[in-house]
Each structure stands twice: as structure tokens, then as C-alpha cells.
Amino acid sequence: MSLDSVLARIDNNLPEALDRLLELLRIPSISTDPAFKDDCQTAADWLVADLQSLDVKAEKRQTPGHPMVVGHVDGDGPHILFYGHYDVQPVDPLDLWDSAPFEPAIEDTPNGKVIRGRGSSDDKGQLMTFVEACRAWKAEHGTLPCRITFFFEGEEESGSPSLVPFMQENAAELTSDIALICDTGLFESAVPAITTMLRGLLGEDFTITGPDRDLHSGMYGGIAMNPIRVLNKILAGLHDDTGAVTLPGFYDDVPELPDEIRAQWQGLNFNHGKYLGDVGLSNPAGEQDRTPLEQIWSRPTCDVNGIWGGYTGDGFKTVLPSQASAKLSFRLVGQQDPDKIRNAFRTYLENNLPEGFSVEYRTEKGAPASQMSIEDPAFEKARQALSDEWPRPAAYVGCGGSIPIAGYFKELLGVDAMLIGFGRDDDQIHSPNEKYDLESFHKGIRSWARILEALSK
């Protein structure tokens, strides 16, 4: 099948593709606000109708929350599952928008044309790049190049409460050879990327209690141990002078970065000085024997996210507080087990409590890291296809944050996911004046057409 004719059709039909995207963007499908419940239904209906226009066997599936959209196309070759979400973030504060968030438009900017409106980048514009690639392929060849399942969620921006139960109940239907997720971006807004590493997350929220009441510092200062002093010592001991985490066994399940990936990352020429300078910092604070990109993408962390205790109002209240509290987060990589890390931390904390002190924990279940196996030939096929479309060669990259859906595909369906997106750093997702570059939309469609052609061989 000719790829060139598909790419030409994408170029020629870009205005019509934009019209469809703008139509979808006009639907205020805010999943977190019950006032927009009917709009989420409308967005799901819109997608079902659009997929059905491509002869996709699509339907809306109700959940306890907002509906899922599931569609199937039979075909030869590999079975691809494509995931996106049609819900969007709230628009507050509305007065910071330069135009109405649900009246999308194409705007000229100093950096080129952009699609302005809520959901343009996160995630309706990204979702539609894949749908439009399928539309062009179907128009040229009368069929799609392989078996495809479309899976669109309506609760991603509100914690995905219905997602795991739905995937468990429909695992046989959703299981595929590879999953594609279009909710990421270009590296430094320029380099096409396939995200293959996602860090996991563990949170610890705890309170240390010493004396049974707040104490007068004049009467008890010196003789009584201050819980804030205990907390400070415990937190300070979590890192050594090189930036490494000191918990016993913390690095046992952390893999070394493959030489091929390390070389790709070095080739990205990441400017960590600018990255830190943009937020008023200068020197990396992580493990000193690791590169800045390794610190962000492939190494685990321990960070204090909040500390409180004692009197913090105006003036002074000279007390030794009864309690001191903190919130910590651990970003996990490789095979690190959240339960093992939690146990190591709690053992360390409790071993450093003075006699008579106690601790209370308030925590939620942690999530392990997700690491995709690039041994699957599909990954290199997709990377080459992206490289053919963009000026700079595509790279395998990591992600310092967590994207739960990728882990769910692996855990619940046994399927690796390729995270490929075309957003840019300045898209202002979750913020007023969200936008998606017209180039990202156009080249994103072309990129998916190339990837579909490559994966179907």
C-alpha cells in the first residue's frame, strides 16, 4: 500500500481535519465538574459517530462515571490498541483567558499558527491526530492497514476512577500486541520521542508525637526533646553529601541504563543549566555521578513535599510542640517495589525515634515504575517512522512523572505501551490559553500514518 498517497491526502485535507477538531473542542467535556456531565456524554457520542463514519464498530460504554468509547477494526497483521481521553481540565481562572476556552480558533503567533482552546493539546488534538491518520488511510486504500482497537476515556482528568474496573471487566476485548498512547510531547519542543520509562510513585504522610501536650519552652526547653528537632534530623539523614538516598536496599532493584539509551540521551544535548535557570536554580542536586537526564528520567528520588509543626502564626508562641509532621514522595524506577521502599523508610524512621516517641502514618497505595521493552521490533519501527517525518531523529526518552495508564496496560493486559505525542512545552495544558501548534497537529497526523505503515509490515 502506498504511504505517499496517504501523506498527500493528509496535506490536502488538513482544513477539513481542523474543522472536525474545532467541532470536538467546542464540547465542554470537563470531567471533574458534575455540571458538565451531559457534555461528557455529548463528546463520547461525537467520537462514536466519527469513528462509525470510518466503518469502525464503535459504541459508547457506560460506567459509574463518564462513558468509555470503544471501537474495533478487523484486519491482518498486528493488533494495535490506541488510547486517548476526551475529557478536559476546568478552565478557571476564566479571566486569564484571552479568548473563550470553548470557542476554539486558529491564531497567528510569533512562532507560527496555533489551535487555541481547552483540550487542544490535552488531549483532544492529540487524540484526533491518530483518528485523522486512520481517516486518510481508509480514504486511500478502502481499509486500515492492520487490526485496531480505539479506546477513549472520559475521566483521565479526574483520576480515572472507572478505568481499572472497566479494563478488568473487558480485558479479553482490549488485549492487543502493542498499545499506543498519545498524551506526551516532543523533547524540548523539537525532538520526536517515544517514552519508554515512567517513574512510579510512593507517598508517605506521617506525624511524630513526643510529649503529650505543647510545652512552655522556658520551662522545658533543653530538657525535653522537641519533635521538630527529631523530624529535621530524620529528614536530613535521608540523603548523603553526594545526593544519594541512604535507605538500606533503596537501590537494589534499580537497573543501569543501557549504553544505547545513554548514548541517545547524550545526543539530545540537554541544557540542564537553562532547565534549572528557568526556575531560578543552577546546579543539579541529585546523585553527582549521574547525568542530569538520568536524574530526571531513570533514577529514583526521595523528596520532602511538606513540613509542619508548632506555632506558625504572626509573632511568637514559645512552645515545644507535641507533634511534627511531614509529607514525602519517592519516585521509583526499574523493579523497585513500593511496599519494600515503604518498609525501609518506616524502619529507618522508627529506629531514629527517641524513647517515648511514636509515629502515625496516613498513606495510600504506591505504584511501581513502568518500563517498556524496546526489544520488541515495533519500537524501533516506530522510532524510524518518526525520524522520517521530523527534521531531527527520534529518541527513546524517559518521563520523570507517572502516567498510570501505561502501567495499567502492562499490569492488567500484559501489553507494552508506546507513548508518542506531539505537544510542546509551551502548550499551557491545565492552564489558561491552552494551545496546540498547527505543525504538531499536521505532522502528528503524518507521523501516525508512517507508524501505522511501519507497524503493519
The tens digit of pLDDT for each residue in 32-72 reads: 999 999 999 999 999 999 999 999 999 999 999 999 999 99
Q: What percent of the chain has pLDDT over 90?
A: 93
Residues 6+ apart with CB under 8 A from 343: none
| SS3 category, 450 | helix
The model's confidence at residue 120, banded by pLDDT at 50, 70 and 90, is very high
What pLDDT shows up at residue 395?
Answer: 96
Q: pLDDT per residue over 402-433, tens digit each?
A: 788 998 999 999 999 999 999 999 999 999 99
- Altogether, the residues listed in the chain come to a count of 457
Class of domain 200-254+300-361: alpha beta
Does the pLDDT of residue 158 top 80, yes or no? yes
What pLDDT shows up at residue 365?
Answer: 80
421 — phi, psi (to 5°)? -140, 170
End-to-end CA distance of the chain: 10
The amino acid sitting at 122 is: D
Q: Which 8-state DSSP code applies to residue 248?
A: T
CA dist 31 and 177 (Å) reads 30
| SS3 category, 126 | helix
Residue 41, number of CB atoms within 10 A of its CB: 17
Mean pLDDT of all residues in 431-450: 98
Contact 161, 64 (CB under 8 A): yes
Calculate ∠ Cα 297-300-301, nearest 5°: 110
Q: pLDDT per residue over 166-196, tens digit each?
A: 999 999 999 999 999 999 999 999 999 999 9
* Sheet architecture: strand order including 200-209: 301-309, 323-332, 200-209, 358-361
Residues 6+ apart with CB under 8 A from 342: 202, 204, 363, 366
Start-end ranges of CATH 3.30.70.360 in the chain? 200-254+300-361
Residues 6+ apart with CB under 8 A from 205: 325, 326, 327, 328, 361, 362, 363
Q: Give the torsion sign (CA, 253, 336, 231, 213).
A: negative
**Cell 497526523, residue?**
445
What pLDDT shows up at residue 1?
Answer: 59
The amino acid sitting at 236 is: A
What pLDDT shows up at residue 18?
Answer: 98
Does the pLDDT of residue 100 top 70, yes or no? yes
Cα 290 vs. chain centroid, distance in angstroms?
23
Quickly count helices (H) and strands (E) in the chain. 15, 18
For 130-174, give the DSSP string. Answer: HHHHHHHHHHHHSS-SSEEEEEEES-GGGT-TTHHHHHHHTHHHH
Cite the beta strand spans of 193-300 per DSSP E: 193-198, 200-209, 215-216
Query: Please, how many CA atoms are within 13 Å of residue 415, restricted to the half-sphere of its CB?
Result: 27
Does the pLDDT of residue 364 top 80, yes or no? no
Q: pLDDT per residue over 289-344, tens digit each?
A: 999 999 999 999 999 999 999 999 999 899 999 999 999 999 999 999 999 999 99
Whether a cis peptide bond, with omega within 30° of 0, leads into 93 is yes
- Residue 272: burial class (beta carbons within 10 Å; 0-12, 13-18, 19+): middle
CA dist 149 and 152 (Å) reads 10
Q: Give the residues across from 79 on adjacent strands.
A: 147
Query: What is the Rg, in whole angstroms, of the alpha carbon atoms belonging to the chain?
Result: 25
Q: What is the pTM of this model?
A: 0.88
The model's confidence at residue 150, banded by pLDDT at 50, 70 and 90, is very high
404 — phi, psi (to 5°)? -55, -35
Start-end ranges of CATH 3.40.630.10 in the chain? 3-198+369-456
Q: pLDDT per residue over 232-277, tens digit each?
A: 999 999 999 999 999 999 999 999 999 999 999 999 999 999 999 9
Higher-pLDDT residue of 30, 400: 30
Enter the CATH code of domain 3-198+369-456.
3.40.630.10
CA distances from 392 to 145, 267, 276, 383, 389 (A): 26, 11, 24, 11, 9
Tell me the three cell numbers of residue 361: 502514618
